Amino acid sequence: MATLRLLCRAFFGLAIYGMFVIVVIIAYNRTFVRRGDGVKVDVQGRGQLQPAPEEKKEVETEAERRKKEQHEKSKRNLEMLPFIKDHSYKPSKCPKTISTVSRFSKWFSERYKPGIKVFLDKDDARDYDVLKHYVLPFGVRGMNSSLFTGIVSHPNFTNPALPLQNSGQACIKCAVVGCGGILNGSGAGGEIDSHDYVFRLNRAISVGSYAKDVGTKTTFYNFFPESEHVPDVVDKDVIFFYTMFKSYDTLYALNMIRDVKPPHAHGVNGRTILRKPLVKPSKLKLIHPSFIRYVFAKYLDGVSYRPTTGAIVVLMSIHLCDEVTIYGFGYDHRFTLHYYDKHFVTHTDTLTALHDVDNERKLWKKLHDEGIIRLFKRDF
């Protein structure tokens, strides 16, 4: 009898406990609702926390959309015709050349064309009809055929061979020296001069106290009429690279090859006469418009009007050398604009009428991160 009484009590206790559990479940289901993804959410603000709100996506403005479409259209147009090939191109024998490194970068391999023609020569007179499809600096539209032929076929235009093509070295290390203020006080002069070949451009001051920061060695110097500062170049056995951006530059090129004074330039304040560059025609090479088109379309996505001379020279060095380090590039706002500035000069807007320097800054970082070049930096 006592045993039966104990069993009854146990059964009664279990029944009460079961009813309590049922009440709790009902109360829980009334308090929470299920979302579509199965997660229960407290409808009264209690219990589980509400999910974090989704990040707001930046809305593209109409102006930004049109600008993007314009750049895409420009890029498609620039790539409409194939880039002109250099039929005398021979791949480097260096085991660690940029061509081999490109295999490890999908981004770079999709853009890199190792056999592209970098410089104009007499054979390009036959390609006038192809080149006239694009305006300067990407072609020769607006430049009559007699002027173009007169430049590339002139007897003074000997188009000298590059020393790196005849060096016999297994691997060629090059430095490209820009004018960025990051070089001021860098002490990088010795490192720069230790390279096999050194590219410089625009105002390449390297005398006196500047030598310790930028070196003195110069193998190649790149310029266009308004940027010419040949007297600043210390080395005298230099090969000169000339870039034609506009119609005047073609007339300037012809006069330079003929070894006569430059033609009159029409500036804001009337006609001006640019000084005659101290460049022997036998030391002059002309950058191919197809190469400039390639740089702008493949690496800068056709953004803005044209690439800077710096972008052209850096990509040129990538095609001519096995290892490349660039100095004085990047537009670092911690430093003055140029390494030779006497007073601190702030940087210009990232987007100008001619080129987008912010876009180029991203390009230098990308090439560095992909292991294609080394970008000289200073950390504090």
pLDDT in tens, 2-13: 554 544 555 555
- H/E stretch holding 152: helix 145-152
Q: Residues 357, 308: contact at Cβ < 8 Å?
A: yes
Taking each continuous run of H as one helix and of E as one strand, the counts in the chain are 12, 11
**Hey, is 287 helix, strand or coil?**
strand
Q: How far is residue 373's CA from residue 329's CA, in Å, rounded to a whole number? A: 12
Q: How far is residue 183's CA from residue 329's CA, in Å, rounded to a whole number? A: 9
Confidence band (pLDDT; 50, 70, 90) for 61?
A: confident
For residue 168, the model assigns a pLDDT of 64
Angle between the N-to-C axes of helices 309-320 and 357-369, in degrees from 0 to 180, rounded to the nearest 10: 20
pTM (whole model) above 0.85: no
**Greatest extent of the chain over all pairs of C-alpha atoms, in Å:** 132
**Closest by Cα among 246, 272, 247 to 261:** 272
End-to-end CA distance of the chain: 91
For residue 269, the model assigns a pLDDT of 62
Q: Residues 287, 315: contact at Cβ < 8 Å?
A: no
Which two three-digit tokens encode residue 215? 């070196």
Give how far the C-alpha of residue 302 lies from the chain's centroid of Cα atoms, to the nearest Å: 11
Q: What percent of the chain has pLDDT over 70?
A: 77
Q: Residues 330, 177: contact at Cβ < 8 Å?
A: no
The tens digit of pLDDT for each residue in 185-243 reads 999 999 999 999 999 999 999 988 999 999 999 999 999 998 998 888 889 899 999 99
Across-strand partners of 239?
Answer: 220
The tens digit of pLDDT for each residue in 142-166 reads 899 999 999 999 999 999 999 876 5
Check pLDDT > 90 for residue 72.
no
> How buried is residue 315: exposed, middle or buried, by Cβ count under 10 Å (0-12/13-18/19+)?
buried
Which two three-digit tokens encode residue 235? 């080395």
Give how far the C-alpha of residue 144 lies from the chain's centroid of Cα atoms, to the nearest Å: 32
Q: Which residue has the higher pLDDT, 23 or 113?
A: 113
Single-letter residue type at 321: C
Q: Which residue has the higher pLDDT, 101 or 221?
A: 221
The tens digit of pLDDT for each residue in 81-91 reads 999 999 999 88
Residues in the chain: 380
Per the listing, tokens 């290390």 go with 173
Domains of the chain: 2-42 (no CATH), 68-375 (3.90.1480.20)
For residue 96, the model assigns a pLDDT of 87
Confidence band (pLDDT; 50, 70, 90) for 38?
A: very low
Look up residue 251 and give its DSSP letter: H
Q: How far is residue 196's CA from residue 169's CA, in Å, rounded to a whole number? A: 10
The tens digit of pLDDT for each residue in 247-296 reads 999 999 999 999 999 988 776 566 676 778 889 999 999 999 999 999 99
Q: Which residue has the higher pLDDT, 62 or 209?
A: 209
Q: How far is residue 143's CA from residue 141's CA, in Å, rounded to a whole number? A: 5
Q: Residues 369, 377: contact at Cβ < 8 Å?
A: no
For residue 17, the model assigns a pLDDT of 55
Q: What share of the chain is helix, strand, coil (3-state, %, to 5)?
A: 40, 15, 45
Indicate the average pLDDT of the chain. Answer: 83
For residue 301, the model assigns a pLDDT of 87
For residue 31, the model assigns a pLDDT of 46
Distances from the Cα of 36 to the Cα of 39, 44, 46, 210, 273, angstroms: 7, 18, 19, 68, 76
